């Protein structure tokens, strides 16, 4: 599984199934949440932003956690695929964190009366976004791929401290942001007809992430290994149809 | 028809919800399209070099 040719073939076979399944799950969650879930008695319909905001925020943090794990693997065992994972996952993590920040700002305007406040949850999420941007920037500025992998691994391992800070920020500091929507230790604070579509959206977002990651990793593997025999053979087979 | 209108307007809050959904769809599309374009480019370069 750790070998790029094996992963490439495995991902190429999986993707034609994974994308449609991901979109189906996502569509069910979003249509249910935005079209049919009841309105919130306090916020009205604007709360429906939750069906994009919460899954994006969860993914933004989860991807960073995964990057820290793969970063450690890259630093300890110098696994090639782990470095490629970091390179491919960083733009996705930045994208989901950016969606969480934008959707949070748009949600904040009608409910808090402002697009942005420098509160603990928002500021720590902004730092997470900057960490992603830093890793992407590192890859762009370092020509040597292996050195780029090691530098990115180091940032992802050191920067992972931000994830528990984001998670606990609503408990440790007084913030405008509401407490966590998902908790392993307590029952949901919303009714089932709001909670279930949200849960489906979270699952759909994870599926979309895996699909996009496989797609992105295929591009990264082809870019890095384009001079190897197996890639030339693959490309020649593609060209001959 | 009334359901669609209500869904779009959402008592004046529709602009916020639909804007967020639009941003989400654009970002997802870009994350799909850019690696896809890279793969296509490598394939095209390879077929050009093999023709030469």
Residues of B in contact with A113 (CB under 8 A): none
In order along chain A (241 residues), what is the average pLDDT of each group of 10 residues?
Answer: 88 95 97 95 93 97 98 94 96 98 96 93 97 96 93 96 93 80 72 94 98 97 92 86 67
Report the gap between the CA of A63 and the closest CA in chain B (Å).
15
**Confidence at residue A1, expressed as pLDDT on a 0 to 100 scale:** 59
- CB contacts < 8 A, A to B, total 90
**Confidence at residue A217, expressed as pLDDT on a 0 to 100 scale:** 97
Measured between alpha carbons, how far is A57 from A93 in angstroms, rounded to an integer? 10
Is residue B24 within 8 angstroms of chain A, CB to CB?
A: yes
Interface touch A215/B10, C-beta < 8 Å = no
Q: Summarize the confidence of residues B3-31 as an average pLDDT.
A: 94
Share of chain A above pLDDT 70, in %: 98
Residues 6+ apart with CB under 8 A from A32: A196, A197, A200
Measured between alpha carbons, how far is A181 from B35 in angstroms, rounded to an integer? 33
Residues 6+ apart with CB under 8 A from A158: none
Q: Summarize the confidence of residues B19-45 as an average pLDDT.
A: 96
Q: Which of B17, B19, B43, B45 to mutate to probe the A interface, most A CBs <10 Å?
A: B17
Residues of A in contact with B46 (CB under 8 A): 226, 232, 235-236, 238-239
Q: And the tokens for A107?
A: 């949600």
Cα distances (angstroms) measured from residue A182 to each of A101, A160, B30: 18, 20, 29
Domain boundaries in chain A? 47-180
Mean per-residue pLDDT over chain A, rounded: 93
Write out pLDDT tens, residues A227-240. 899 999 998 888 77
Residues of A in contact with B50 (CB under 8 A): 236, 239
**Confidence at residue A241, expressed as pLDDT on a 0 to 100 scale:** 67
Measured between alpha carbons, how far is A33 from A31 in angstroms, rounded to an integer? 6
Interface touch B38/A223, C-beta < 8 Å = yes
Interface touch B42/A98, C-beta < 8 Å = no
Is residue B48 within 8 angstroms of chain A, CB to CB?
A: no
Single pTM value for the model: 0.95
Interface touch B32/A103, C-beta < 8 Å = no
Q: What is the DSSP string of A59-74?
A: HHHHHHHHHHHHHHHH
Q: Summarize the confidence of residues B40-45 as an average pLDDT.
A: 92
Residues of A in contact with B27 (CB under 8 A): 95, 98-99
């Amino acid at each position: 599984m750790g070998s790029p040719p094996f992963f490439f073939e495995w991902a190429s076979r999986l993707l034609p199934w994974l994308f449609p399944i991901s979109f189906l799950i996502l569509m069910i969650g979003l249509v249910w949440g935005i079209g049919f879930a009841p309105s919130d008695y306090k916020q009205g319909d604007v709360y429906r932003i939750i069906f994009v905001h919460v899954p994006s925020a969860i993914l933004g943090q989860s991807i960073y956690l995964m990057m820290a794990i793969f970063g450690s693997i890259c630093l300890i065992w110098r696994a090639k695929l782990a470095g490629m994972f970091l390179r491919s996952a960083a733009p996705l993590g930045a994208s989901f964190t950016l969606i969480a920040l934008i959707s949070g700002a748009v949600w904040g305007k009608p409910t808090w009366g402002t697009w942005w406040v420098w509160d603990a949850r928002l500021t720590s999420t902004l730092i997470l976004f900057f960490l992603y941007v830093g890793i992407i920037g590192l890859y762009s500025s370092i020509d040597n791929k292996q050195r780029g992998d090691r530098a990115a691994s180091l940032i992802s391992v050191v920067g992972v401290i931000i994830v528990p800070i984001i998670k606990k920020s609503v408990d440790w500091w007084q913030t405008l942001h509401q407490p966590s929507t998902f908790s392993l230790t307590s029952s949901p604070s919303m009714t089932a007809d709001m909670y279930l579509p949200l849960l489906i959206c979270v699952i759909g977002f994870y599926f979309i992430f895996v699909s996009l990651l496989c797609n992105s990793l295929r591009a990264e593997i082809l870019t890095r290994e384009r001079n190897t025999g197996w890639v030339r053979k693959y490309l020649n087979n593609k060209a001959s149809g | 028809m009334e359901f669609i209108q209500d869904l779009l307007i959402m008592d004046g809050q529709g602009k916020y919800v639909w804007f967020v959904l639009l941003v989400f769809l654009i970002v997802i599309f870009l994350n799909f399209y850019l690696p896809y374009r890279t793969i296509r480019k490598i394939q095209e370069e390879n077929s050009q070099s093999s023709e030469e």
